[in-house]
């Protein structure tokens, strides 16, 4: 029986061992993945901008890079300094206008019910179903007192609902009071949830800002000293971990290129999304267009969650400026734009940059989000592209070479 040789085992299973060690290191460093990924994203964005300054403006590389990162800091500080207080101001304004908003909503409901009487009970049932059992029980007791005060019985209500026709003034007053109680309870519950989640959201914003600042510093230092870093990485080939370099350097570099293309695609999507939203804001005559467009552009780089982060201030501003009707129009505009983005722009732009079929790209985005959430949306397409082409060896039709 031959003795076990660790060296022989390594030589026979070198590829498996190397990749197992690399994936193990990734798993151990998973808490730092957000900083690493954001550093990579910022470097991918800053490098061509600095190259433009060197090529077109004849600036030294370090100066062009410094100007790019000063621009990044200005955008970040402006976002924190102007956007966050503006959103907070709109929230306070909405709270002050809450009684007026409730009255407008009830008026809109009454106009809708006058035209479509069958909508009356489904609307009330929807609001009732969104409340907790304790709140519903409290409202039911108050409504019982209202029916006693107005001299209305359950039989009177059932008769009007079954036979239709003209609604008595006392019953119309009762229904308005019921809807007002439901609506007020809904708003109160939502604000209570906002107050509960506010500390977590503030903490998340602080952590996101700190992570962004660290990533800005890391990416700046990497790009400033990129030539020496490249030489140092190349020297790994002749070091004791040369096997790791030979096995993993090219695949990692290839995957980095694919992720860079995905980031480039997301940048184009952000530009188009911001442009469409800007047009919609102008058509709806919603104020604070510049601030809202800036929020949309920044949040376009945040899959899934970015939709809600960018929609909230738009709806708040629309609600304060034009009431519920304008806010509903703003929601419809956002839904239409993001449906266009999800089902047309994302597949087409990602497919063009990564040379994947748009339908396959849409499937990958959908499956990636449901299986892995945020990271599935961010990395699903480049990972799938890498495995299909580089691992499985399925060829893609390359772009035609440009004419000389």
Distance CA 360, CA 121 (A): 44
Distance CA 310, CA 29 (A): 31
Who contacts 222 (Cβ-Cβ below 8 Å, separation ≥6)? 39, 43, 229
Predicted confidence at residue 321, as pLDDT, reads 78
Q: How big is the CA angle at 266 (ends 318 and 394), to the nearest 5 degrees?
A: 145
Average pLDDT, 10 consecutive residues per value, the chain (404 residues): 66 79 83 83 86 87 90 83 71 69 72 74 79 84 84 75 71 81 78 70 76 90 86 82 81 79 79 88 84 79 67 80 81 86 74 68 74 70 74 56 35
Predicted confidence at residue 399, as pLDDT, reads 45
Predicted confidence at residue 67, as pLDDT, reads 92
Predicted confidence at residue 268, as pLDDT, reads 82
Predicted confidence at residue 400, as pLDDT, reads 39
Distance CA 404, CA 388 (A): 31
Nearest-10 Cα torsion for 340, 346, 349, 350: -170
How many other C-beta atoms lie within 10 A of the C-beta of residue 139? 18
User: What DSSP string describes 239-257?
Assistant: STTHHHHHHHHHHHHHHHH
Distance CA 146, CA 172 (A): 12
Q: Model's pTM, two decimal places? A: 0.65
Predicted confidence at residue 70, as pLDDT, reads 92
Own/partner pairs, 200-207, CB within 8 angstroms, 24+ separation: 205/84
Distance CA 61, CA 54 (A): 6
Who contacts 96 (Cβ-Cβ below 8 Å, separation ≥6)? none
Own/partner pairs, 183-188, CB within 8 angstroms, 24+ separation: 183/102, 183/105, 183/106, 183/127, 184/102, 185/131, 185/135, 185/139, 186/127, 186/130, 186/131, 187/98, 187/102
Predicted confidence at residue 398, as pLDDT, reads 47
Predicted confidence at residue 194, as pLDDT, reads 65
Nearest-CA neighbor of 45 among 376, 301, 378? 301
Predicted confidence at residue 98, as pLDDT, reads 67
């Amino acid at each position: 029986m031959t003795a076990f040789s660790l060296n022989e085992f390594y030589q026979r299973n070198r590829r498996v061992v190397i990749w197992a060690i690399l994936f193990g290191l990734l798993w151990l460093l998973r808490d730092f993945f957000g900083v690493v990924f954001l550093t990579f994203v910022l470097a991918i964005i800053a490098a061509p901008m600095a190259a433009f300054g060197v090529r077109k403006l004849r600036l030294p590389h370090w100066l062009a890079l410094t100007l790019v990162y000063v621009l990044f800091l200005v955008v970040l500080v402006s976002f924190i300094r102007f956007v966050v207080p503006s959103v907070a101001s709109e929230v306070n304004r909405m709270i002050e206008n809450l009684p007026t908003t409730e009255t407008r909503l009830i008026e809109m409901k009454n106009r809708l019910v006058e035209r479509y009487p069958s909508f009356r009970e489904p609307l009330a049932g929807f609001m009732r179903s969104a409340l907790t059992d304790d709140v519903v029980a409290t409202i039911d007791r108050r409504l019982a007192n209202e029916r006693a005060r107005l001299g209305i019985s359950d039989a009177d209500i059932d008769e009007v609902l079954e036979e239709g026709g003209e609604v008595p003034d006392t019953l119309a007053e009762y229904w308005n009071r019921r809807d007002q109680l439901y609506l007020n309870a809904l708003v109160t519950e939502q604000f209570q949830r906002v107050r509960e989640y506010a500390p977590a959201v503030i903490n998340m914003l602080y952590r996101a800002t700190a992570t962004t600042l660290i990533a800005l510093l890391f990416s700046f230092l990497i790009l400033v000293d990129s030539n020496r870093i490249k030489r140092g990485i190349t020297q790994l080939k002749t070091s004791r971990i040369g096997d790791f370099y030979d096995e993993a350097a090219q695949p990692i570099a290839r995957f980095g290129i694919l992720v860079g293309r995905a980031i480039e695609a997301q940048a184009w999507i952000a530009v188009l999304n911001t442009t469409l939203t800007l047009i919609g804001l102008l058509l709806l005559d919603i104020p604070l267009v510049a601030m809202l467009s800036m929020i949309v552009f920044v949040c376009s780089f945040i899959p899934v969650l970015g939709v809600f982060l960018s929609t909230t201030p738009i709806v708040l501003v629309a609600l304060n400026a034009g009431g519920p009707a304008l806010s509903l129009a703003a929601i419809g505009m956002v839904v239409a734009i993001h449906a266009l983005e999800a089902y047309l722009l994302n597949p087409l732009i990602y497919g063009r940059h990564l040379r994947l079929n748009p339908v396959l790209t849409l499937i990958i985005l959908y499956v990636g989000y449901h299986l892995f959430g945020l990271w599935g949306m961010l990395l699903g397409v480049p990972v799938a592209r890498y495995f299909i082409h580089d691992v499985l060896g399925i060829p893609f039709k390359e772009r035609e070479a440009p004419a000389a």
